[in-house]
Amino acid sequence: MSDTAPALNVSDGTPLDLLGTRRSVLAAQLAAPGPSPGELDRMLDIAVRVPDHGRLAPWRLQVLGPAAQAELGEIFVEEFREIEPDASDGRIELERVRPRRSPVLVIVSSRTVPDRDGVPPVEQLLSCGNVCFNLLNAATAMGYGAQWVTNWCAYNDRVKAALGIPPGEHLVGYIHIGTPKNPPAERRRPETADVVTRIESLSEIG
Ligand SMILES: Cc1cc2nc3c(=O)[nH]c(=O)nc-3n(C[C@H](O)[C@H](O)[C@H](O)COP(=O)(O)O)c2cc1C
């Protein structure tokens, strides 16, 4: 991490501890400095090291520089005014700054191909979700905070078109990365036992 960035104290450095304690930091809580260009390159390399059935690489990542983040905010404003003509000035302003809440914004979108060699589009989309998550992991491991968000602007055709995301593909995540203003509080997690079943014989089911 860059010299000036305070470390996010979520891990004692072991991989297991990182995985066991990682959590998101709200985009609004992410300030400068962001990762250096070299750090970001490393995060992106890690992000695309995901399970990918058939090696289709069915995902694309776009790193938006500050000017592009600001331009995207103006598109959000124009589009949101269409969706909610009565939106308050405050809400419009929120849309304007939405893409530039963090110093770094990475947009992850799908590039699926029709079912080929037993790799249906849903699997390709899942791989794309893994890219988002691995980017969070990489950012956290390097001492930064990150959050995966979507909101209305992930599902809006004009926003997608402005980003060059083809119709029919998904804008899977806006990944915000920066230095946490404050360490994130822990979040309540499901009890593992509530969601895991150990099965000795299928006759137990039903
Ligand atoms: C696909 C997806 C979309 C999400 N979109 C949003 C969002 O728009 N706004 C938001 O506050 N959290 C959103 N979240 C939730 C956060 O990214 C995150 O899961 C949550 O803040 C806590 O997660 P943690 O376990 O990483 O701490 C989304 C999560 C996923 C998986």
3 falls within a domain:
no
Range of the domain at 41: 37-183
162 falls within a domain:
yes
Dihedral (CA of 4, 41, 26, 9) sign: negative
200 Cα to the center of ligand 1, angstroms = 34
Residue nearest to atom 22 of ligand 1 (CA): 24
Q: Residue 158 maps to which CATH number?
A: 3.40.109.10
- The domain tally of the chain equals 1
| pLDDT in single tens digits along all 206 residues of the chain | 333 344 444 456 799 999 999 999 999 999 999 999 999 999 999 999 999 999 999 999 999 999 999 999 999 999 999 999 999 999 999 999 999 999 999 999 999 998 777 999 999 999 999 999 999 999 999 999 999 999 999 999 999 999 999 999 999 999 999 999 999 999 999 999 999 999 999 999 97
In b/e form, how buried is each residue of 119-137, taking b as 16+ CB within 10 angstroms? bebebbbbbbbbbbbbbbb
- Omega before 33 cis (within 30°)? yes
179 falls within a domain:
yes
148 Cα to the center of ligand 1, angstroms = 5
**HSE toward the beta carbon, residue 187, CA cutoff 13 A:** 11
